[in-house]
Chain A
Amino acid sequence: MASIPKQTRLEAQAQAKAWNPDSAWQPPTSTQRFLDKVFRQLCWGFAALTIVLMVLLVAEIGTKAIPAFREYGLSFLWGRTWDPNKGVFGILPEIWGTLYTSLLALFFGTLFGVAAALFLSESYLGEVAFKFLKMFNLHFHPFWGKLPDRLEALLKNLIELLAAVPSVVYGLWGLFVVIPLIRPYCNWLHDQFGWFPLFSTDLSGPGIFPAVFVLSIMILPTITAISRDALASVPPKLRMAAYGLGATRWETILGVLLPTASRGIFGGIVLAFGRALGETMALAMLVGNANRLTLSLFSPANTLAALLANNFPEAGGKEIPVLMYAALVLLAITLVVNMFGALVLERAASKAEAK
């Protein structure tokens, strides 16, 4: 009692005198109970609205696509021409372009994304910084000692910043920086290895490769973030056991850590694939909008999302149902991929919990 300052004690006593116990002893008034009920209903309603919204999204696009579906049927999916003047529509080149660019981007994005996730989860940077500090005997210094952790956090934030840059800015960068930069090399590849299907055309401007380049940068943060979480949730005792058996660091990573985290990493890759499929702006600016079915990396092509972005603003009344049909196809592809990814991640999480 003596340790509490007199001032505080007096205040507390004054407060205790002023306190009216009746306000706390009484049960909730009817207004309070009514408000509680309303609030519960409101929360329930808003939550239900989320599901309604999702159903509405599908229904809206679906119903608007019905006229086009009646007219063109399923042959729309393998038609190769898009000519509003003649009223001939087909989206096979767009479907191919969407899958081709996304899969290529996924390949590069996964390669670099998982590498970055390993770099982060092994905290190499912090280790190097720690060793460096140790040389100067500063590793317990109140300021410098925090450096390894700070560097790690900085690196993590930098990779997350990659995701924060709007896609239209990446598109602008790709258009004015990447394409002029890679063009000579791509054309050299075409000159030397033109017989190889991947290099069968030259890069005259926008094309698949610049689009894939930018797209893989855009999906990399997703893969890195999810893979890092998956690697971090591997129980430390597995790593210790592997080290204890004499495995080197990379034998541990390849033999123990990656297989254990594989489900989570796979879920991340699937979600990134969904993002790549639906990505619009960077592709609309970089892929070239040519209705072409091609294997060549340097040829212009088109994707479903880019088709929508380019044709919707000036679409006539007859073209709109057709575009809605194309949107429905894109929706179906991305919904399937995203649901699959969400399910895989959920399974991975529940499996980690079960351990």
Chain B
Amino acid sequence: MNDMQRKPPAYLQDSGETFLHKVEAEAEKDPFEGVDFDELEVSIYRPRTAFSIILTWIVAIMTLMALVPLFAVLWMLIWRGGKKLSLALFTQLPPAPLEQGGGFGNAIIGTIIMVAIAALITIPLGVLTGVFLAQAQRDSKLAAGVRFSAKVLTGFPSILAGVFAYGAIVLATGGYSAIAGAIALSILMLPTIILTSESAIAMVPAKMKEASIGMGATGAQTVWMVLLPTAAPGILTGVMLAIARAAGETAPLLFTALFSNYWLSSGGRFNVMQPTASLAVLIYNFSGMPFKNQVELAWAAALVLVALVLITNLIGQSFSRQQVQQ
């Protein structure tokens, strides 16, 4: 009933003109009729354009402001830490309160040793997990679970890695040690290495893998002789980024490796089962002290630490550049 009552659309109504007439009349009309050309002209006096330009400037200024802290930090490090820089810093032990001079040789060695142990644990673990993820079936539940936990671990608070190592290692072995610190660091390094190796291996062209398998290589041979060598630059980038991050971490070391004013040896023998100094914890401890010498040492240690971290980062990035060029 309603359908019958509805009027047909205008162009179907018989008004003596055919549809074609209307189209022709439409075509003869000036297509630009009613268009205000002044309105279309780009001019900064128009609100729309002015809005666009102003926002562009705001965003540019905000980006610059975001970079100010980076330069401010680097400048302060060079200015305040550079003053103190000398060879003695790298060879001497931290000074006692009110003592002048001193250095942080043991902290540099402690940082390097703990990061090295952590790297020894995480590189095989992380790279092989990455291989597994890259090779896994699309619907593999284990792969999905591993990927998800790696992603969640990326955001794992570093202090909780320290709490874990404290509960699992320090309480179990009965003392603060470089090993406990290294294990705390390895928890933070693992997800980075897993995720970067997975994406590096997944980026190897499928035809290389297929060619290798087609020639009769076993899965392990394909991984070792084709996938890993080809993906090496990407994997190394991930490893270097993880190392750089671990070297700068303080929170996991605070109550696992603690700190020490002495070299990493007991009774003349090298020993990793004792409290160990690290650059990051030294900066934290010395920054809270009311002595000028210690604060200056903290700045110098910060300069050395940032230099170490940035150099490691840059080396890592140079690997990824190699991969791009291939």
User: Which residues of A are at the interface with B, using a C-beta cutoff of 8 A?
Assistant: 24, 27-28, 32-33, 35-36, 38-40, 42-44, 46-51, 53-54, 56-57, 60-61, 64, 111-113, 115-116, 118-120, 124, 155, 157-159, 161-162, 164-173, 175-177, 217, 220, 224, 246, 248-251, 253, 271, 274-275, 277-281, 284-285, 305, 308-309, 312-313, 323-324, 327, 330-331, 334-335, 337-339, 341-342
Contacts and interface: CB of A to CB of B under 8 A. Distances in A.
B235 interface: no
Interface in B23-54: 40, 48-49, 51-52
Contacts of B216: 24, 27-28
A258 to B, nearest CB: 12
A46 B163 contact: no
A119 B135 contact: no
Contacts of B187: 53, 57
Given A164-B310, A250-B55, A278-B157, A50 B131 contact: no
Interface in B131-151: 131-133, 135-136, 142-143, 145-146, 148-151
Given A46-B128, A285-B287, A113 B152 contact: no
B279 to A, nearest CB: 9
Interface string B242-266: 0011011111001100100000000
B215 to A, nearest CB: 7
B214 to A, nearest CB: 12
A278 B67 contact: no
B164 A61 contact: yes
Contacts of A164: 244-245, 248, 309-310, 313
Interface stretch (B99-107, B112-120, B298-306): B298-306
13 contacts: A36-B220, A36-B221, A40-B220, A44-B142, A54-B152, A165-B306, A168-B248, A169-B283, A173-B72, A176-B287, A248-B52, A251-B48, A284-B251
Nearest to B249: A166
A167 B305 CA distance: 11
Contacts of A224: 66
Given A158-B67, A313-B255, A165 B155 contact: no
B129 A115 contact: no
Contact of B157 (A46, A170, A279, A341): A279
A95 B190 CA distance: 28
Most buried by B among A57, A176, A249: A57
Contact of B248 (A44, A47, A167): A167
A157 B318 CA distance: 12
A305 B274 CA distance: 25
Interface string B159-176: 111111011100000000
A169 B77 contact: yes
A305 to B, nearest CB: 5
A288 to B, nearest CB: 12
A44 B145 CA distance: 12
Nearest to B71: A158
Q: List 8 A-B pairs, minimum CB-CB distance, nearest first.
A: A278-B157, A166-B248, A39-B220, A280-B251, A36-B218, A115-B62, A338-B155, A43-B132
A169 B76 CA distance: 11
A32 B222 CA distance: 12
A276 to B, nearest CB: 10
B203 interface: no
Given A46-B129, A54-B152, A61-B160, 6 more contacts: A115-B63, A155-B63, A164-B309, A248-B52, A271-B155, A330-B160
Given A32-B221, A42-B128, A172-B287, A327 B143 contact: no
Contact of A165 (B62, B73, B150): B73
Most buried by A among B52, B223, B244, B280: B52
Contacts of A313: 254-255, 258
B189 to A, nearest CB: 12
B295 interface: yes
B69 A162 contact: yes
A274 B156 CA distance: 8
Contact of B295 (A53, A119, A176, A278): A176
Given A43-B128, A60-B164, A251-B48, A36 B219 contact: yes
Nearest to A333: B157
A246 B40 CA distance: 9
A224 B254 CA distance: 30
Given A159-B66, A271-B155, A342-B151, A47 B283 contact: no
A91 B152 CA distance: 25
A169 B309 CA distance: 11
A331 B157 CA distance: 8
A274 B151 CA distance: 12
B89 interface: no
A114 B76 CA distance: 27
B287 A308 contact: no
